[in-house]
Structure 1
Amino acid sequence: MLPPYASRALIAERLPIIFPEGTPNRTYCIREITASTVFAMLYIGAVEGEDVWLGPVHVYRMTDVQAEIFDDAERLAYRMNLRKKSYQVPGSRWYADNTREPIRDETLREGLLVVGAVIEKAGVPTTSGAPRYALKKDLAALFDPRLVGEALEVAILAWQKNNLSHSARARVSLMRAGTTGKGGVIVSYPNGDTRRLASGPSSDISKAVVEVFAVKFLEMPGVIWLSESGNKTAHSDIKLASSIGLDIQANKDLPDLILVDVGSSHPLIVFVEVVASDGAITPRRQEALYAITDKGGFDRSQVTFVTAYADRESAGYKKTMPGLAWGSFAWFMSEPDNLVILRRGARLLADLNLDTYQPSVD
C-alpha cells in the first residue's frame, strides 16, 4: 500500500518542526532538496517494512507535472518504470543528473541517516546504483495531511523522543531554552549579581557564557566586562579590573565579554566574542586585545581568547570559522562540555592529550 499523498510544500513546512534548531546536520535535513527527497520516498512508497527502496534518480527525475499526479496507479507506474529508457516523465525535471551526489552524500548519508529518519538496504555495494533508501515508518506517518494541530505536535514530540539521540535532544533543548520573552535576558553573575540584557540571540549566548562556560572552565570566575549590541559600556566591573591591574576603557577594541579566573596567583584573562552572525576572534582582534593586557603588564600566557556560538549548525559559525585566530578557542552553547582548540604550533598527534589541555597554554 502507498502512504497518503503529501505535497512537497507540506513536507517542506513540517521538516523544520520535526528537526528543530540543534539537530545534528540540520541544514541537510530541512532544505528544499530534502523535502524533494522525502516527497519522492512517500510518492513511490519507499517506507520501512514495504521492501521498496529509493535511489537519487527517483528525486532528480521528478517533475512538477508528475508530482501533481496523486493517483495510486500513476505513482506505482513512476516507481516501476522510471529506470526504463522508454519511460517518459511528463514536464521538466526538478534537478539535473549530477544532483545525485548531494542527494546521496548530503541529504541522505550526512542528514537523514544520521538522525535516524531513513534506513539503508543491507547488502547493496557502496558503488552500486541500485535503490537502497527508505523512510522510517514512524517518520513517514508525520507527513499524513490528515494529521494536524495538537495531534501533529504530540506525534512530532514522540518521534523526537524515540528517535533523536540523547545528545541530539540535549542540543535541541538547550537551543530552545535560549528563547526569551519581552522582559529580556537575565544574566546571573558568579558573585550573585544579576544583569538584564535585551532579548536576542547574542544575549542568549552571553548568558550561557557567564552562567555555564565560566563556571565549567574557570576555577574562580568573575565578569569584568559585559556588553550588548549597540551598548558597549553596558557593564564594567572597574573594581574587579583594577584589583588585578587591568585598565578597562570603553573603546571599539573591547570584546563582548571579559572574564577573569582568580583561582591562582596569576589571574587568567579571558576575552570572549559572542557570534550570532558576525564578530569572531580574528588575528587582528587578538592583537588588539593583547595590546590591552600588554599595557596592564600581563604576560601573554595569562591571556586567552574564546569565540562563543549558539551551535555548530549556526550560520554565524559557518561564516566566521575560517577566520578564527590560532591560539584561541571556540565554544558552543548547545554542546557546553566541549571546546574547539585552535592550537598554534605543530606536534605529533600522539603527544597531544587534549583532555588535559590548559586554556592558558598558547
Structure 2
Amino acid sequence: MGTAKRPTRRIGWGALSGRPCRTRTDNQRIKSRKVCVQLEESQSRSRLPGAGTRTLHPGASSWILKGVVEKFAASLVEPNVLFISQPGEKVNLLDGKALKDMGLEVDQATLLPDCLMADLAPSRDEFWFIEVVASDGPVTEERRQALIDWATAHGLEAEKCRFLTAFESRTASEAKKSLPVLAHGSYAWFANEPDGLLSWDELRFA
C-alpha cells in the first residue's frame, strides 16, 4: 500500500493538487495578475466627509491619513476636507483650484501641511492644519508659527486655527520621538484610538 500524497497548497491561490501542470505562459499570467492585485490593494480609497472619495498613495502615512479623514473628521460638527498633500502629488488639482477660489493659495516650495480641514459650522468656524507622522514632521513651535503666518496673510484669524499631529499609536516610535517637541496649543491624535485627543497647552486656572 503506497503512502498517501499530501496535497500541495499555496497561500492565497487555493489548493493546487489534481490540477494540470502550468506552462511558462500560465505562470507569467498568474504572476502578472498577482502584481496587479497587489498594486490595487496597496492603494486605499478614503471616504471624504459629506461625499466623494480620494485615492491615497500606498504607505504607512496614508493609513494614518485615511483615519484622519474618515474618523477624526467625524468629531467635527460640519467637516470639510480642503486639501490633501501626498508624495508625488503635493497639490491635487481639484484641491488647488478650490483653495485658489477661496483665496488660499498653497506655496508648494515652503508650506505644505499633509491635510487642511475646516469645521464650517457657524459655532466653530475653525481651520485644522494637520501633519501625519509616519516618520517625521510633527507640528513644532516653528512649524506652528509658519502655518499661522500663512493663515493670517490669507485673511484667516489665528484664534480660529487649530494644529493637529496624527500618529499611528501612542507607543509608536515616531510618537515617542515627536511628542516632546509638539507645539504648545496643538493636539495629537492616534489612529488606533480614534475617539481620543491629546491636548498640549498652558495651564489656566480661574
Task: Give me the whole-angstrom Cα distance separating, in 2, the residues matched to 1:251 and 1:271.
Answer: 17
Corresponding residue of 2:73: 214
TM-score by length of 2: 0.74
Corresponding residue of 2:142: 284
Cα RMSD of the aligned pairs, angstroms, is 2.1
Amino acid at match of 2:61: S
Which structure has greater strand proportion? Answer: 2
Q: Secondary structure at the match of 1:228?
A: coil
Deviation at 1:297, TM superposition (A): 1.4
Amino acid at match of 1:188: R
Give ranges in structure 2 of 5+ residues lacking alignment: 1-37
Corresponding residue of 1:187: 46
Q: Is the 8 A contact 1:226 1:235 kept in 2?
A: no
User: Does 1:347 pair with 2:204?
Assistant: yes
Which structure has greater helix proportion? Answer: 1
2:132 to 262, 274, 279: 274
Deviation at 1:251, TM superposition (A): 3.0
Pair 255,233 (structure 1): closer, same or farther in 2 beyond 3 Å: same
Q: Secondary structure at the match of 1:250?
A: coil
Q: Secondary structure at the match of 1:319?
A: helix
Amino acid at match of 1:254: L
Corresponding residue of 1:248: 106
Q: How does 1:94-173 map to 2 (within 5 A)?
A: none
Deviation at 1:227, TM superposition (A): 1.2
Pair 239,195 (structure 1): closer, same or farther in 2 beyond 3 Å: same
Amino acid at match of 1:293: A
Aligned length, in residue pairs: 168
2:117 to 253, 259, 265: 259
Deviation at 1:255, TM superposition (A): 0.7
Deviation at 1:199, TM superposition (A): 1.5
User: Does 1:234 pair with 2:87?
Assistant: no
Deviation at 1:238, TM superposition (A): 4.1
User: What are the Cα deviations for residues 50-80 of structure 1, in whole angstroms up to 9, with x where unaligned?
Assistant: xxxxxxxxxxxxxxxxxxxxxxxxxxxxxxx
Amino acid at match of 2:146: A
Percent identical among aligned pairs is: 37
Q: Secondary structure at the match of 2:111?
A: coil
User: Does 1:328 pair with 2:150?
Assistant: no
Q: How does 1:194-205 map to 2 (within 5 A)?
A: 194-205=53-64
Task: Give me the whole-angstrom Cα distance separating, in 2, the residues matched to 1:193 and 1:249.
Answer: 25
Give ranges in structure 1 of 5+ residues lacking alignment: 1-180, 352-362
Q: Secondary structure at the match of 2:116?
A: strand
Q: Secondary structure at the match of 1:308?
A: strand
Pair 340,233 (structure 1): closer, same or farther in 2 beyond 3 Å: same
Task: Give me the whole-angstrom Cα distance separating, in 1, the residues matched to 2:203 and 2:94.
Answer: 38
User: What are the Cα deviations for residues 117-174 of structure 1, in whole angstroms up to 9, with x where unaligned?
Assistant: xxxxxxxxxxxxxxxxxxxxxxxxxxxxxxxxxxxxxxxxxxxxxxxxxxxxxxxxxx
Q: Is the 8 A contact 1:309 1:316 kept in 2?
A: yes
Q: Is the 8 A contact 2:84 2:114 kept in 1?
A: yes
Amino acid at match of 2:58: S
Q: Is the 8 A contact 2:164 2:189 kept in 1?
A: yes
TM-score by length of 1: 0.43
Q: Is the 8 A contact 2:85 2:112 kept in 1?
A: no
Deviation at 1:292, TM superposition (A): 1.4
Pair 239,266 (structure 1): closer, same or farther in 2 beyond 3 Å: farther
Pair 188,262 (structure 1): closer, same or farther in 2 beyond 3 Å: same
Which protein shows a greater Rg? 1
Corresponding residue of 1:296: 154
Task: Give me the whole-angstrom Cα distance separating, in 2, the residues matched to 1:182 and 1:238.
Answer: 27
